[in-house]
Structure formats: structure tokens, C-alpha cells
């Protein structure tokens, strides 16, 4: 039972000999190739999702202008170069779904869990490479089905990414509620299967397949973060699946789990009675809140690692970092109803959720202060990856602080469903995790492809993105405080919101600029894969972790010969005057204890 | 990966234990059924609630025996037991919050939804034939 | 810091082997079952939530009171479902015996007990099919509820909605468990496990089967007893 590593050893060598194009690039069971597949699929989705936001930002910024090219592109969805309200809602919904699930869940933890777990814990591959491959292909199928919902007659689902009934339960509720929603549910169900297969694999790999000497307290923080991410996914996605199964029955088999008495003008009373729409929201947010941390934790882990490597200092408070990750993971399951303060939730229950929600500030603050103290007096190298990591900390602080506002049920009555919420979650969850993802890509690109990304383009990418992110979302706080509701198609018909017309236009212009800079990053990415500067040393960042002990372009099986043994934690930077001491260096006799 | 090592690691109580657990499970089920039959004749709500509580406790006991002995969890390494049992405590708040809010929703509807309140006071005549027809019209 | 902490913990966690002394497949099966427990948990908790937010609820003893081959008007509450429960418990016992036989490399006993388990599973599914069919002929289905509340008022369709959804989902699990066991049986007969030198696959199939039994404990209590 203890010989898994040996078994895999044989297994992987066997494979290395007869790789065809199909087994190497398409149905690959190599975790590194699967990671790249996740990354590139995620990038395609990110571009599509970002482009959708440009389209609806144009509507919000220029409600009176018309864009003839839009009609060429979208056809009947943009008659006269003017996006229709139905298309607007479909775009908002798909933008949310795609970015939350496909980019920041599958694209982020799919990429980095697959890539980093075996490399950093010292394993030849995942526990089950086959399941790992299935995980990607389920995600791929989910992607195709989600994509196909753009091409059905009535368009994609348009009731918001949260899919609340009755918009999602009654086929006639909105144009996308029939076939658009069918495809949406099927796609999401496949996505749940994909994340379950992936998550089980990550957990089993981290627990069972660590190399000799790699005890749990010698794991890099990336691995700890990915571990808790996988646990969150495995325990919370099934609840969403149950919620969806009940929803499917409501849609197709005449049940009323989520539907109470509904009277439709011109149709009369629907036969449904006795259900509760709040139940769906409970089930959805029981996943939905852990989902926020599924998105955020991998970014936190990677940022911890990158900050430490590039400050040439040990991470401050390693155990506290693990403890706070654990606390966040637990609390993630206990606070879901803070999304539902104004639904008719019991106010007393709401106050308990306020308390639990505000508790999250404690582990979050521990993490922030540990990052800052890691930077403190460090010998900082401002690589693009490091800049994105610092940017993550900045965004996490500014977005996290508004979370304390929104966590109060009394304040939330005013702020709920306004642009304040949009600003909050885009900064803390969307852009911050994006920054974690960028940091990870810049940092591990040399390991992925054996090339460097272009630094100048990286700096331009960083500065425009962080300035743009703040310019887009900072003003939204003021709009939200003034009561401007989210998800509205056109604000120009209200006297009270007319004052924000210029501001909205400004936000739209900046968002187009930020989108353009992401295309620059894409260019950098694909150009560097083929034409980038070659990596010539094994350990370009002078890092301690195990992935840099593999060859520059590791094959399937990662290490040639024995897997190295580990003797120390991964954060011995600047110890006893030595710049860095890799994990594989045995502890010397003279060495001081830390 | 030798077979003997596997066996030693999982050595449980053997066949004797299986028989013992089977008997315990059967007895618990029979007690549950007896309580169920007994409850049919009782109308007093508090008493019924007490019996239902007892049945739930018996249910947990059955679950314990299945997981601990049939699924062999009791003979695993302690840390494995912990990683499986600790996350189950999430169910405490999961159940509490959901049921509490469900109950609150009932109170809310009874107070503000006249139709809902009315429905729950009208007795259905005989075998509720009309009711089922109305539903099947869907 | 790390050196001091690792020194105190046992070398189980030191890397290079499983800290739980189990192979990854079994670990994955356990965590998959955890995940599935949350699926069923969510179903049953939704059922509880709806029941708590509804004024009346049908009396299970009035609904589930029939028995196959008995006269139409017979009033035999809890009898049929007890039979189903015992079938599942006994099939669980035979599965444990199969797992144990596998640990002793006793192929004959594995085959015998697996066959018994499969028969138990099929018997349970047949019982459920009969019960569903019977209820369907009484007018119950998704979105249709012929029964009235215990206090004689009109009942919400959610009683039958949840009953069919949850027992259906459980039945689906029993069905896939039977399929898995049949595959295990074929693999045993083909000497796959003898060649491998261990019957660990049977243990994993056993975990799944017991989980199905475990879920029935909860479904049985929630729908038929309270």
C-alpha cells in the first residue's frame, strides 16, 4: 500500500515511450498538460466573458448611441446597433456564470492545482491521472454546452448567474428561461461532476503522494490553499447539484419545490402551490458562499508563495497562515445567508449570520498582516508576478473592507443589489483572484513552457490593469451608496441617476482599455510560448520549492530518476546569511533553528 | 503491498463482530417500528415529539453502527476517522439554519398570506377526489 | 518551527506513504461518499425545510399502508417498508462478508456473498417498484397528491414531490450499486483480483453499498416514521 509512488513510476515510464499526438496533447493524462488545457480553455472563456462585459458596459455608458458593428456581430440581439434588453440580461448572466465558474474556478484551481500539486509535493502525477483527464473533459463538455446556448433561437439564460426561481423555474418567465436554462443546467451539472473528480484527486494526492520528508508542515502554502479549496468544492458542490435536481423537477415534471402560488396576468393561477423560493436561495448560497473562497483561496496560496520568494524572506507566520486558511474554510460554510438578508429571511437568524460573517474578518486580517510583514524589509524583486501578487493584497484589502459593511444586515437593506455590491465582489473576488491567477502565470510560466514572458509587456499589463480596476470599481461604490441598482438596462430615464451618466461613461471607457490590455497579455502569452526568451537555469527565481528541481521541460513523470527527498520547510530564505536553501538540502549541523 | 500487511491493518472483530452488529441493527429497527406503531394511537403533540426525538436518536445509533463496523471506519487510523467525522459537524448548522428559516417562513405566510392561511383550515370532503383531479389537470 | 512540530508527530505524516495507511482509491471513495452525503443531506434538509414551512402534512401511516397480494382495503402500515429495510440490512451484511472473504483471499466465499448481495439489491428495487406502482395507481406522482393532511385539510403536492424525488434518487444509487456489484462479480469470476493479489476493489464497492444502506436509514426514518 505504501508503494504507490513505485507503481506510478513504472506506469509513467511506460507511457513516455509511445506518446502519440492524441495522448500527448488531447487525451493526455499528464497533469502538466491537463493544467495547460484548463488554463487555455479558461483564457478563452475569460476573453469571451470580458468581451460580454464590454458589450453591456457600452450600453450603460452610451445608452443613446448606436453601434452598427454590434448588429453585424449579434444580429437580432442588437437591432439598429442597440443592444436589446433581453440580450443585455443574457450577457450579464453569462458574464457572471462564465467568470465565476469557468474562469475563476476551473481556470484557476484547475490550472494551478493540476500543475503545482504533483510538482510541489514531489509526486510523479496525480493519484488517478485518468480521473484527472476525465475532469478536464467534463469541463470541456460543460463549456461546449454553455457556448451552444448562445446559438439557440431564444438565447442563453437571462435570469442572473444565481438562477433564482421563478425566472429559472418557469419556462415562460423570460426568453432564455426555456432552452437557454435547460442548457445552462446541463452545463452546470457537468461542471459539478468535473469539479468533484478534480477535487477528490487533489485531496487524495496531497494526502497520500507526498515525497519522503514532505510532512504537512513542510508543504508550501500554495498546496495548503489548494487542499482547502478542494475540500470546499467536494463538500459544497453536491448541495448545488441537489438544488439543481429539484429545479429540473420544477421545470419539467410539474412539482413546486420552489414555486408557491403564482398568478400570471392573462394565464391565471399556475397549478403550483406550497413551495418556497427562498429554499433555492439557501441551497444555492450554501454552495455560493464557499464558492467565493474556492475562487479566492488558490490565489491566496500562490500570492503567499510568490511574495516570500520575491522578498527573499520566509513567509511571516507560516502556521498562522495555515490556521487562517482553515478558519476561512470552516467559516465559508456557516455564512451563506448573508446574501439573503432582504429575502424575507428570519431577522434573528440574520443576526446570527451577521456575527459569523464578521468573524471572517479575523482570519482575513491575519493573512493580510502576514503578507505585509513578509514584505517588510524584504529584498524585493519587482518581477511582474510579484507586482500582481502585491496588487492582489491591495485589492483584497480594499474589497474586504467593504465586505464588513455589507455583512451588516441593517446596512445591507440599503446597499443590497446596488452597485456597491457589484464593486465589492468584483474587487475582492473577481479582480483580486484574477490578479492571483496572473501572478501565478507570470511566476510559473518558465516551468510550464521553459520560456520567460516578456517583462516590459508584463509591466504595462500590470499598471494599466490595477489602475483600471480601481478606476472602474471605485466610483461604483458612490453610485451604490446613492442607490443605483445593479442589473438595470438603462439608467437615463431616472432623474436621480442622470447625474451618474458621465461617471458611467468614464467607467465604460476604462473597462474597454483594461480589456484591450488583457489582449496584450494574451499576445505576450502565446508569443512567448513560441518565441520567448529561453529559460537556461533550473531555478530562475532562486526558489526553494521542489518544482524547480525538475528538468527545465519536465516529461511525464516529472523527475528523471529518484524523486528528491525533503529535509526542511520551503521558506528558508536568507537563513544564516544564505540567500536561499532549497527543501532538498539536508539540515546542516551548525544550522540555527528557526 | 503484501496481502498480509493489508489484512493486519484492517483487522476488525471478524465474523463475530458482524453478527453482533447485525443483531444490534435489527433490534434498533424493531424498536423504531414499535415506537412508530405506538405513535399512531397518540394525538398529544408534545408526546409525539418526544417519540419522534427518540426515533431520531435511534436512527443516529444505527448510522453509527453501519459506519463504524460495516464500513470499517472504527478500525481505521484515528486521523482518517477525524477527517471524515469532523466535516459532518457542518450538518449541525446546515440543519438548524434551514429548518429555523423554514419555520419562520410558515409564520410569515400565515400572517401575511390570507389564501395560505385559509387553505390550511378548510377540510377536504371524503377522499379528496376533487383535489387530485385538480392537480392532474396540470 | 517545522522541525520541532514534525518531530512530535508520528512518522506517518512524514511523507513517502499514506498517512492513513490506505490506498488512494479507498481514500477517494470515502471522500466521494462524504460528498454524496451532502447531496442526500441537502435533499433531506430541503424536505425538512418545506415541511417546517407548511401547516399540515399527511400521516405516513395512512399513505404507506398496503402490502403486495393483500386485499385492497387492508390497513397494514409500516409492514412493507420494514420488509424493505430488512432486505437492505441483510444485503449489507452479506456485503461485509464478501469484503471479509476478499481479505482472506477466499474466492468462493466472495462469489457467494456477492451473489447474495446482488439478489438483495434486486429484491429491494423490486419492492420499491411495486410501491411506486401502487402509489401511482392511487393517483400519486410528481405534481399530484391524492392524500390529505393528517388533520383532514388539503395537502401540498410537495409531500409526493419529495417522496418520489428522494426515494427515486436513493433507488438510483441502489441500482448503480447493483451494477457495481455485478461488475465486481464478473471481475472475481475472471480471476482479476487473484491476479492482482488483493481484493481491494471489493472493499471500495462495499463502502458504496453500505453507504446506500446508510442513506436508507435516514430516508426510512424521515418519510415513514416521523
Domain ranges of chain B: 1-76, 91-138
More confident: C30 or C10: C30
Among candidates A215, A222, A213, which has minimal Cα distance to A564? Answer: A213
The answer to whether C198 contacts B1, with C-beta atoms less than 8 Å apart, is yes
User: Considering CB atoms only, which of C3, C24, C54 is closest to A274?
Assistant: C54
pLDDT at position B6: 41
Q: How far is CA A187 from CA A88, A141, A144, A380, A410, in A?
A: 21, 7, 8, 44, 37
Q: Of all helices (H) and strands (E), which one includes residue A517?
A: helix A501-531
pLDDT at position C72: 66
- The Cα–Cα gap between C83 and C71 comes to 18
Nearest chain C alpha carbon to B36: C225
Share of chain B above pLDDT 70, in %: 80
- The Cα–Cα gap between A281 and A240 comes to 10
* Alpha-helix runs per DSSP H in A265-315: 277-311
Q: Is the peptide bond before C206 cis (omega within 30 degrees of 0)?
A: no
pLDDT at position C137: 92
Average pLDDT over residues A12-28: 70
pLDDT at position A428: 94
Residue A588 within any structural domain of the chain: no
pLDDT at position A17: 53
Residue A279 within any structural domain of the chain: yes
Contact A32, A448 (CB under 8 A): yes
Residue A96, pLDDT > 60, answer yes
Test mutation, C23, C24, C159, chain A, max A CBs within 10 A: C24
pLDDT at position A458: 96
Residue C40, pLDDT > 80, answer yes
Binned at pLDDT 50, 70 and 90, residue A18 comes out as low
Q: What is the pLDDT of residues A319-350, one digit of tens each?
A: 999 999 999 999 999 999 999 999 989 999 99
The total of other beta-carbon atoms located within 10 Å of residue B68's CB is 16
pLDDT at position A594: 54
Q: Mind telling me how many Å the CA of A449 is from chain C's nearest CA?
A: 28
- The Cα–Cα gap between C222 and B91 comes to 16
Contact A191, A142 (CB under 8 A): yes
User: Considering CB atoms only, which of C21, C55, C144 is closest to B135?
Assistant: C144
- Return the top range by mean pLDDT from A257-266, A489-498, C126-135: C126-135
Among candidates A532, A523, A349, which has minimal Cα distance to A453? Answer: A532
Chain A / chain B CB contacts < 8 angstroms: 47
Binned at pLDDT 50, 70 and 90, residue C152 comes out as confident
The answer to whether B10 contacts C157, with C-beta atoms less than 8 Å apart, is no
The answer to whether B101 contacts A334, with C-beta atoms less than 8 Å apart, is no
Residue A521, pLDDT > 50, answer yes
Share of chain A above pLDDT 70, in %: 96
Nearest chain B alpha carbon to C43: B95
Average pLDDT over residues B55-64: 95
- The Cα–Cα gap between B28 and B55 comes to 9
Neighbours of chain C (3+ CB pairs under 8 A): A, B
Q: What is the pLDDT of residues A535-564, one digit of tens each?
A: 999 999 999 999 999 999 998 889 998 999
Contact C165, C142 (CB under 8 A): yes
Neighbours of chain A (3+ CB pairs under 8 A): B, C
Contact B63, C217 (CB under 8 A): yes
Average pLDDT over residues C70-91: 85
Q: How many domains does chain A have?
A: 1
User: Considering CB atoms only, which of B15, B69, B123 is closest to C152?
Assistant: B123
More confident: A105 or A17: A105
Residue C1, pLDDT > 60, answer no
Residue keyed to cell 494526502? A207
Q: Of all helices (H) and strands (E), which one includes residue A376?
A: none
Average pLDDT over residues A89-93: 94
pLDDT at position A174: 87
Q: How far is CA A259 from CA A164, A552, C156, in A?
A: 11, 58, 12
Residue A350 within any structural domain of the chain: yes
C40 touches chain B (CB under 8 A): no
Least confident of A23-32, A129-138, A373-382, A464-473: A23-32
Q: How far is CA C222 from CA A268, B55, C79, C166, in A?
A: 35, 10, 16, 11
Q: Based on C-alpha coordinates, what's the Rg of chain B?
A: 23
User: Considering CB atoms only, which of C37, C53, C103 is closest to B106?
Assistant: C53
Please state the ipTM of this predicted complex.
Answer: 0.92
Mean pLDDT for all residues in chain C: 89
The answer to whether C2 contacts A257, with C-beta atoms less than 8 Å apart, is no
Share of chain A above pLDDT 90, in %: 81
CATH number of the domain within which A485 lies: 1.20.210.10
pLDDT at position B14: 80
CA A561 to chain centre: 35
DSSP helix/strand/coil, A513: helix
Residue B131, pLDDT > 90, answer no
pLDDT at position A321: 96
A208 CB-near residues (< 8 Å, 6+ apart): A4, A127, C17, C18, C19, C20, C23, C24, C27
Residue A477 within any structural domain of the chain: yes
Sort C137 into a burial class: Cβ within 10 Å, 0-12 / 13-18 / 19+: exposed
Q: What is the pLDDT of residues A293-326, one digit of tens each?
A: 999 999 999 999 999 999 999 999 999 999 999 9
Chain B / chain C CB contacts < 8 angstroms: 173
Residue A589 within any structural domain of the chain: no
Binned at pLDDT 50, 70 and 90, residue A14 comes out as very low
- The Cα–Cα gap between C5 and A515 comes to 47
Residue A84 within any structural domain of the chain: yes
Average pLDDT over residues A233-262: 93
pLDDT at position A404: 93
Neighbours of chain B (3+ CB pairs under 8 A): A, C
Domains plus CATH for chain C? Answer: 23-225 (1.20.120.80)
The one-character DSSP state at A561 is S
C116 touches chain B (CB under 8 A): no
DSSP helix/strand/coil, A263: strand
A252 touches chain B (CB under 8 A): no
CA A197 to chain centre: 17
More confident: B138 or A529: A529
Neighbouring C-alpha atoms within 13 Å toward the C-beta of A473: 23
- The Cα–Cα gap between A363 and A369 comes to 10
Residue A195, pLDDT > 80, answer yes
Residue B137, pLDDT > 70, answer no
Q: What is the pLDDT of residues B94-121, one digit of tens each?
A: 999 999 999 999 999 999 988 888 888 8
The answer to whether B87 contacts A2, with C-beta atoms less than 8 Å apart, is no
Nearest chain C alpha carbon to B56: C221
Residue A76 within any structural domain of the chain: yes
Average pLDDT over residues C206-218: 95
Q: Measured between beta carbons, which residues in chain B are less than 8 angstroms from residue C206? A: 70-71
User: Considering CB atoms only, which of A121, A238, A282 is closest to C36?
Assistant: A238
Binned at pLDDT 50, 70 and 90, residue A587 comes out as confident
Nearest chain B alpha carbon to C40: B91
**By residue range, what is the domain housing residue A152?**
4-260+271-580
Number of H helices, E strands in chain C: 8, 0
- The Cα–Cα gap between A594 and A540 comes to 26
More confident: A12 or A73: A73
Contact C221, B55 (CB under 8 A): yes
Grid coordinates belonging to A447: 516551468
Q: Mind telling me how many Å the CA of A345 is from chain B's nearest CA?
A: 7
Residue A84, pLDDT > 60, answer yes
pLDDT at position C71: 66
Q: What is the pLDDT of residues C180-200, one digit of tens each?
A: 999 999 999 999 999 998 899
Binned at pLDDT 50, 70 and 90, residue A11 comes out as very low
Amino acid at each position: 500500500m505504501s508503494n504507490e509512488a513505485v507503481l506510478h513510476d513504472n506506469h509513467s515510464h511506460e507511457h513516455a515511450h509511445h506518446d502519440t499526438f492524441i495522448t500527448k496533447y488531447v487525451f493526455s493524462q499528464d497533469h502538466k498538460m491537463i493544467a495547460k488545457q484548463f488554463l487555455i480553455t479558461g483564457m478563452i472563456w475569460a476573453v469571451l466573458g470580458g468581451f460580454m462585459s464590454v458589450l453591456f458596459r457600452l450600453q450603460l455608458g452610451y445608452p443613446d448611441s448606436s453601434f452598427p458593428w454590434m448588429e453585424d456581430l449579434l444580429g437580432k440581439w442588437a437591432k439598429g446597433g442597440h443592444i436589446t434588453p433581453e440580450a443585455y440580461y443574457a450577457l450579464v448572466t453569462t458574464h457572471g456564470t462564465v467568470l465565476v465558474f469557468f474562469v475563476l474556478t476551473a481556470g484557476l484551481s484547475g490550472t494551478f492545482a493540476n500543475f503545482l500539486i504533483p510538482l510541489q509535493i514531489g509526486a510523479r502525477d496525480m493519484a488517478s491521472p485518468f480521473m484527472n483527464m476525465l475532469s478536464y473533459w467534463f469541463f470541456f463538455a460543460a463549456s461546449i454546452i454553455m457556448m451552444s446556448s448562445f446559438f439557440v433561437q431564444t438565447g442563453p439564460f437571462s435570469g442572473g448567474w444565481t438562477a433564482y426561481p421563478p425566472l429559472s423555474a418557469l419556462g415562460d418567465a423570460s426568453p432564455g428561461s426555456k432552452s437557454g436554462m435547460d442548457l445552462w443546467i446541463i452545463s452546470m451539472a457537468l461542471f459539478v461532476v468535473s469539479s468533484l473528480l478534480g477535487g477528490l484527486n487533489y485531496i487524495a494526492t496531497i494526502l497520500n503522494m507526498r515525497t519522503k520528508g514532505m510532512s504537512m508542515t513542510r508543504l508550501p502554502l500554495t498546496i495548503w490553499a489548494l487542499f482547502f479549496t478542494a475540500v470546499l468544492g467536494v463538500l459544497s458542490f453536491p448541495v448545488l447539484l441537489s438544488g439543481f435536481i429539484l429545479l429540473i423537477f420544477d421545470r419539467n415534471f410539474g412539482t413546486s419545490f420552489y414555486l408557491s402560488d403564482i398568478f400570471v396576468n392573462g394565464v391565471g393561477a399556475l397549478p403550483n402551490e406550497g413551495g418556497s423560493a427562498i429554499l433555492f436561495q439557501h441551497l444555492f448560497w450554501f454552495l455560493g458562499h464557499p464558492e467565493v473562497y474556492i475562487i479566492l483561496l488558490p490565489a491566496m496560496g500562490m500570492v503567499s508563495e510568490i511574495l516570500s520568494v520575491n522578498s527573499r524572506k520566509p513567509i511571516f507566520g507560516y502556521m498562522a497562515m495555515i490556521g487562517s486558511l482553515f478558519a476561512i474554510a470552516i467559516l465559508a460554510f456557516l455564512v451563506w445567508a448573508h446574501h439573503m438578508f432582504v429575502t424575507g429571511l428570519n431577522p434573528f437568524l440574520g443576526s446570527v449570520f451577521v456575527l459569523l460573517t464578521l468573524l471572517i474578518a479575523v482570519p482575513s486580517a491575519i493573512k493580510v498582516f502576514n503578507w505585509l510583514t513578509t514584505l517588510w524589509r524584504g529584498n524585493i524583486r519587482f518581477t511582474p508576478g510579484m507586482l500582481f501578487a502585491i496588487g492582489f493584497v491591495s485589492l483584497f484589502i480594499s474589497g474586504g473592507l467593504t465586505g464588513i459593511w455589507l455583512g451588516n444586515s441593517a446596512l445591507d437593506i440599503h446597499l443590497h443589489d446596488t452597485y456597491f455590491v457589484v464593486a465589492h465582489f468584483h474587487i475582492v473576488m473577481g479582480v483580486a483572484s484574477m490578479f492571483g491567477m496572473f501572478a501565478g502565470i507570470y511566476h510559473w510560466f518558465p516551468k510550464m513552457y521553459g520560456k520567460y514572458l516578456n517583462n516590459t509587456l508584463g509591466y504595462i499589463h500590470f499598471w494599466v490593469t490595477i489602475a483600471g480596476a480601481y478606476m472602474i470599481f471605485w466610483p461604483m461604490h458612490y453610485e451604490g451608496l446613492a442607490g443605483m441598482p445593479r442589473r438595470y438596462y438603462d439608467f437615463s430615464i431616472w432623474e436621480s441617476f442622470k447625474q451618474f451618466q458621465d461617471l458611467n461613461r468614464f467607467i465604460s471607457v476604462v473597462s474597454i482599455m483594461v480589456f484591450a490590455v488583457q489582449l496584450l497579455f494574451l499576445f505576450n502569452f502565446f508569443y512567448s510560448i513560441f518565441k520567448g526568451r529561453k529559460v537556461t537555469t533550473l531555478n530562475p527565481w532562486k526558489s526553494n520549492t521542489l518544482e524547480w528541481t525538475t528538468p527545465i521541460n519536465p516529461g511525464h513523470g516529472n523527475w528523471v530518476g529518484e524523486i528528491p527527498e525533503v529535509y526542511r520547510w520551503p521558506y528558508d530564505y536568507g537563513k544564516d546569511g544564505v540567500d536561499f536553501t532549497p527543501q532538498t538540502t539536508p539540515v546542516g549541523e551548525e544550522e540555527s533553528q528557526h | 503491498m503484501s496481502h498480509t500487511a493489508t489484512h493486519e491493518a484492517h483487522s476488525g472483530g471478524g465474523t463475530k463482530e458482524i453478527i453482533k452488529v447485525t443483531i444490534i441493527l435489527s433490534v434498533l429497527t424493531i424498536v423504531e417500528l414499535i415506537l412508530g406503531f405506538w405513535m399512531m394511537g397518540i394525538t398529544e403533540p408534545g408526546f409525539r415529539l418526544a417519540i419522534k426525538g427518540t426515533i431520531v436518536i435511534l436512527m443516529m445509533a444505527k448510522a453509527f453502527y453501519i459506519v463504524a463496523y460495516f464500513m470499517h471506519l472504527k478500525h481505521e487510523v484515528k486521523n482518517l476517522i477525524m477527517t471524515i467525522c469532523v466535516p459532518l459537524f457542518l450538518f449541525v448548522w446546515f440543519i438548524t439554519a434551514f429548518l429555523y428559516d423554514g419555520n419562520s417562513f410558515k409564520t410569515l405566510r400565515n400572517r401575511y398570506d390570507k389564501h395560505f392561511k385559509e387553505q390550511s383550515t378548510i377540510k377536504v370532503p371524503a377522499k379528496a377526489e376533487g383535489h387530485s383531479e385538480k392537480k392532474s389537470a396540470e | 518551527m517545522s522541525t520541532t512540530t514534525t518531530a512530535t508527530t508520528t512518522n506517518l505524516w512524514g511523507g513517502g506513504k499514506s498517512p492513513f495507511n490506505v490506498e488512494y482509491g479507498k481514500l477517494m471513495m470515502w471522500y466521494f461518499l462524504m460528498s454524496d452525503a451532502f447531496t442526500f443531506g441537502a435533499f433531506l434538509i430541503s424536505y425538512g425545510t418545506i415541511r417546517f414551512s407548511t401547516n399540515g402534512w399527511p400521516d405516513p401511516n395512512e399513505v404507506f399502508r398496503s402490502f403486495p397480494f393483500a386485499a385492497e382495503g387492508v390497513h397494514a402500515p409500516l409492514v412493507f417498508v420494514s420488509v424493505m429495510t430488512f432486505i437492505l440490512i441483510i444485503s449489507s451484511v452479506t456485503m461485509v462478508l464478501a469484503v471479509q472473504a476478499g481479505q482472506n483471499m477466499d474466492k468462493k466465499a466472495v462469489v457467494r456473498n456477492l451473489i447474495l448481495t446482488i439478489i438483495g439489491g434486486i429484491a429491494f428495487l423490486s419492492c420499491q417498484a411495486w410501491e411506486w406502482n401502487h402509489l401511482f395507481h392511487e393517483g400519486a406522482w410528481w405534481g399530484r397528491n391524492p392524500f390529505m393532511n393528517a388533520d383532514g385539510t388539503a395537502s401540498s403536492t410537495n409531500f409526493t414531490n419529495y417522496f418520489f424525488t428522494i426515494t427515486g434518487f436513493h433507488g438510483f444509487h441502489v441500482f448503480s450499486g447493483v451494477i457495481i456489484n455485478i461488475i465486481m462479480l464478473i471481475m472475481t469470476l475472471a480471476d482479476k483480483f487473484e491476479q492482482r493479489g488483493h481484493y481491494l476493489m471489493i472493499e471500495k464497492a462495499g463502502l458504496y453499498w453500505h453507504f446506500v444502506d446508510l442513506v436508507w436509514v435516514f430516508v426510512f426514518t424521515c418519510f415513514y416514521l416521523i
